[in-house]
Structure 1
């Protein structure tokens, strides 16, 4: 174990700033050098949107001390760039169901108050999209949401939003990161009690009036209000122990869906996620209880949100009686197609925004529908940035819909982040409408494939924990970027996009062009048969992710081709470590 790691461990163990209970946790690992190293070899990274990590005591863990440090950095930035006006506008704070979320949110509020910045704190858990909505509705300078989204139950996190309601981008992102990194000692952190904050008017609890405003904004996105049989259309819903229960149940009821069945065992908030330790709607396993309920009541669709209700996954029963799970790309295409075919008065400059790792299939659909497509880096904050640029007339476009392959969608501009509440509502509407005309989501998806081609997407996510894992991920990315051959997996490469170098190279002609996006640690290969292969480290978990998209002759051919491509690439990557 490095000397500096041991010194940092002892510093925390002997500090008056660390609670006795937390010191006991540190004492319990005094003979475990590997655990001490993992907790103290680095500071939990405050990236360009916030931080996320395993709960625990240490500099490389999420805890109230690291939350306070982050909030002090944010406070310093607000004072530096916004002055007294920004301090008066304040910061809105929301939190989800995770263990520690209440404590972390209150600690954030009390550090802000200690810096003379007003904190608006929700009284109980709220969704991430409602926080995004609240920032603009309340006119605050910034926002904080305490959540680890869909990560396993041992995680928690902290995301920062700016006054436009979107996650922080440049210049705020690096500016806040720099201020957080400048906070080197706990004695630099200003912190007051809840009682003092309330007395000074620096802490205000947000009441339920804002909930109603948010729900009304969501309902404005309804496309078809009068669907025959809507009130009897059966839906099974699960918030997966998270924040979605109240807003989703409410908005579906107010929209006229009277046959909604909530999975009781997953209905109430619980940060232990007892029925699904990985509360991720991308995982078919989370639908087990929902499907059992659906079979019991006769529903053909199950919907589930992640813990902070910004993402949604579904399961649908097809005509053969089999439950299938449309992936994030498929749901994005379905929603886009539904909006374009049913929404009235679509403007001539109507635009869809997606990401560089989302399906290329949206391009031929958009071309046929005569709408624009904008691609951003991975992360919905970049989609939110584009929405703002549309509204400020910096880009020629009118926002219609945005989605990313990781099950995140936004219909409307009431939020500047992905919103599972409005997505759940519009998916329910879409399913009920198709049912009313004798069709289904599954059948409509097949129609899209028949018309535009049998695209098939897949993801491989490889977990690499600890210091050694970080080094392995760096080695793999370096090897992929240094790929010098003109073929990959036995196929000619047409183009390589190195987003860290902001450079796209045409392998056939040797021509190079600039990628007009912020630099990012991503490499993408486009092969002669239309195959896309993209590699990028996760920004929220100790993982490296590989994204694939192929085009097949039909469903069976696409499935076979995708499986073969993913297996070959995985073998290639394994040889790089």
Structure 2
């Protein structure tokens, strides 16, 4: 195995690497720590693909790492047989720096391997990529995006033939094929002209876009009058959402205004620190605009339009942010109630959520008599469940969501879809407005029936090799001295997904966990609340989740903050208390 300095010298000196790359590395030649950070490891093929800071090096995202990942994908497809090469791979990209370049590198690398590349030339959101894979009958898909990360990041996500994120076994094949490439210089992308002449580079036909819009519009149930009465202000946060979100809302008959300052795609995301609809500060411009227009809803999507944030106008004329858990509960209740009233709620209906997501929806599912299933964190696991339902006929999918602002209510897409979610939130709000309610009133009604749940998340950023060691140390310390309570709330069950076993704390009884192995510690309270700790699968972060149930909303917020503060204190961390309701703790 080559050393850090050997890899550095190769990338700095060999003419295979372009002049920009070599010049960038020459600028860090006197900085051993920077060199080590760039070359001490290969950028990991993690949750669905690669994600990292844009730059030169094996631990960065760049055209050469995109080539390497694409070579791994091509080998995985070749192993399935020649038909996969003919069906090809659909490629989309977002508005980030180098996204278009990376998409083309992937296409030309596929072509060099005899794999057809269906390339979208313009911006497209991640959920449209998922749809297109299914619509075109492709063998796989690639989307170049770093989702909601800061501007210095980009990424490479892989989808399989069902339109879902690449499953773990296939991801393992891709990773193994990447590692088997002895010399990255052996990867030689095909020239564009040759790829087009040989039919290995093809545009995605516009009919795919129209088919996606048509399927989305079929989900709307509010009357035309109800839709027209709802006023929406929307911001795409400089990402891919502008065209698809505005298109479906306007075609559905919802009056929508776009925040002009954040409408155009811009890789620098100049009006926000991070283009993340979970962050309160991204709404500052929209809120200033709302002061005069007084829309019922403010909607925001992240750069690849798979996450949706929602602000709701309250009865005093201000705006309150809904958390991902709260949006999910409102949408689940709307879907279940409307289908129950129409007599179309199936006996084998199922809602899917991740274990990091609030258990408020569990009580809702019991109310409507449908099954709730849980998965590990990551929407790819929800997509895998949908595929399992199709193969076994065990359940009919109704709705899936995760706390990180991702939602799905139909199977023609197999990943979280903020375009779909924007339409569903607008539809639900129109129904409630027609009956004199807001989405805040709808949430209060759910709380009154099922308990006042409040959730929070604290991210601890720990980059580099030292950060990885620190994360392992924190997880080991929790295992060595497991908490029996947080802020006075007893832990009823302690689940260690790395070990695959759980413990009933009061009795010491152990039980096997049904989900697969993962680096997750989950401390469950008797009332449905929990504390959960896990490393991020896409960023150098340790994530601490809290969910609690209180006597009322204010009591739940106060309890959430106490539990979070205690959880962080046990790990020698700080922060987490005193955050206002409706915001995520960051």
**1:309 pairs with 297, 305, 329, which one?**
305
**1:399 pairs with 397, 400, 410, which one?**
397
TM-superposed CA distance for 1:32, in Å, is: 1.6
Query: Contact 1:70–1:180 at 8 Å: present in 2 too?
Result: yes
Query: Contact 1:294–1:301 at 8 Å: present in 2 too?
Result: no
Could you tell me how far apart the structure 1 residues matched to 2:181 and 2:501 are? 35
Could you tell me how far apart the structure 2 residues matched to 1:530 and 1:403 are? 17
> Match of 2:495?
497
Find the residue that maps to 1:544 and give its secondary structure: strand
Residue deviations 1:297-334 (CA, integer Å, cap 9, x gap): 12131000000000100111211233211100000000
Residue deviations 1:360-408 (CA, integer Å, cap 9, x gap): 11111111110100100000000001111111126x2100000000000
> Match of 1:175?
173
**1:288 pairs with 284, 291, 294, which one?**
284
TM-superposed CA distance for 1:188, in Å, is: 2.8
1:455 partnered with 2:448: no
1:7 partnered with 2:3: no
1:339 partnered with 2:335: yes
Query: Contact 1:46–1:180 at 8 Å: present in 2 too?
Result: no
Find the residue that maps to 2:456 and give its secondary structure: strand
Could you tell me how far apart the structure 1 residues matched to 2:386 and 2:440 are? 30
TM-superposed CA distance for 1:264, in Å, is: 0.3
Alpha carbons of 1:485 and 1:562: their partners in 2 closer, same or farther (altered >3 Å)? closer
**CA RMSD across the alignment:** 1.6
> Match of 1:476?
474
TM-superposed CA distance for 1:543, in Å, is: 0.6
Could you tell me how far apart the structure 1 residues matched to 2:489 and 2:406 are? 32
TM-superposed CA distance for 1:228, in Å, is: 3.0
> Match of 2:58?
59
TM-superposed CA distance for 1:230, in Å, is: 2.1
Could you tell me how far apart the structure 1 residues matched to 2:319 and 2:482 are? 44
> Match of 1:46?
45
* Unaligned segments of structure 1, at least 5 residues: none
Could you tell me how far apart the structure 1 residues matched to 2:247 and 2:526 are? 49
Alpha carbons of 1:155 and 1:485: their partners in 2 closer, same or farther (altered >3 Å)? closer
TM-score of the superposed pair, with normalisation by structure 2: 0.95
**2:510 pairs with 509, 512, 515, which one?**
512
> Match of 2:237?
240
Find the residue that maps to 2:233 and give its secondary structure: strand
Could you tell me how far apart the structure 2 residues matched to 1:170 and 1:42 are? 21
Could you tell me how far apart the structure 1 residues matched to 2:2 and 2:386 are? 49
Could you tell me how far apart the structure 1 residues matched to 2:401 and 2:154 are? 24
Residue deviations 1:399-425 (CA, integer Å, cap 9, x gap): 000000000000111100000001000
**1:120-135 → structure 2 map (5 Å cutoff):** 120-135=118-133
Alpha carbons of 1:3 and 1:384: their partners in 2 closer, same or farther (altered >3 Å)? closer
* Unaligned segments of structure 2, at least 5 residues: 575-586
> Match of 2:314?
318
Could you tell me how far apart the structure 2 residues matched to 1:48 and 1:263 are? 32
**2:261 pairs with 265, 270, 276, which one?**
265
TM-superposed CA distance for 1:31, in Å, is: 1.3
> Match of 2:533?
535
> Match of 1:72?
71
**1:85-484 → structure 2 map (5 Å cutoff):** 85-224=83-222, 226-257=223-254, 259-343=255-339, 344=342, 345-393=344-392, 396-484=394-482
TM-superposed CA distance for 1:528, in Å, is: 4.9
Query: Contact 1:47–1:177 at 8 Å: present in 2 too?
Result: no
Could you tell me how far apart the structure 2 residues matched to 1:89 and 1:206 are? 13
Runs of 4 or more, structure 1, over 6 Å off, are none
Residue deviations 1:489-523 (CA, integer Å, cap 9, x gap): 44432111111112111122222221121211100
TM-score of the superposed pair, with normalisation by structure 1: 0.96
Query: Contact 1:294–1:300 at 8 Å: present in 2 too?
Result: no
Find the residue that maps to 1:171 and give its secondary structure: helix
Q: Which moved more, 1:183-192 or 1:124-133?
A: 183-192
Query: Contact 2:47–2:538 at 8 Å: present in 1 too?
Result: no
TM-superposed CA distance for 1:534, in Å, is: 0.2
Query: Contact 2:109–2:190 at 8 Å: present in 1 too?
Result: yes
Alpha carbons of 1:302 and 1:48: their partners in 2 closer, same or farther (altered >3 Å)? closer
TM-superposed CA distance for 1:187, in Å, is: 3.0
Alpha carbons of 1:334 and 1:485: their partners in 2 closer, same or farther (altered >3 Å)? closer
Alpha carbons of 1:153 and 1:124: their partners in 2 closer, same or farther (altered >3 Å)? same
